[in-house]
Structure 1
């Protein structure tokens, strides 16, 4: 991602969707310290409902969640909030998904309009660089 892009819009609303509390907490702490408004949800259905009510500049969405997985969330966001940039989150070694199934889901999410994928583990610097790039 180039460094010469316009400054990020501080205060821009960002959606974080992950069924793991600790992952959401890392995102929330990093993004709020940077000045972003963060809405976090542990499931896709609640996140999609929030996106119907509010426009988000960016959504970080876990690929593997119960009830509504990340691919379904991307599909819904594309329809209810087409201006939202979506970046998927996935574990490099996710016990819940076989590697080929995980990659298939990532490819499907990208084909539906997701802008990228962050693979766990990653640091707050990666979160912030991604947010600054897509929330401008």
Structure 2
């Protein structure tokens, strides 16, 4: 068995983009872009709201997906050379855009993901405990 992608019938890859892809406003600048544009990702209070309301509030993640994502994030945070800024870089050929200029060059991309990690450990606590207690070969 394998943990499947929430949308595709293939292996789930716990890429950190799963956390920030929810902030892509391409072709929705006048709706989602306006809503998200009210928050500054560099402001600690705003960042906490963004993470709790958007990053960690994705109904398509099972408890297993959440554990896989947290473990992937934890490994990235433990790697002093991990390029967190690269996650926020959008190739000009891609159909993606962030809601505010600040997203393109965050003051601390590592700090952003550290906050994701801390809040996820709280908000997803029960799901993480449930998934950790399961036999992964049954996933």
The answer, yes or no, to whether TM exceeds 0.5 is: no
TM-score, scaled relative to structure 2: 0.32
If each structure's strand is expressed as a fraction of its own residues, which one has the higher value? 1
If each structure's helix is expressed as a fraction of its own residues, which one has the higher value? 2
Higher-Rg member (1/2) = 2
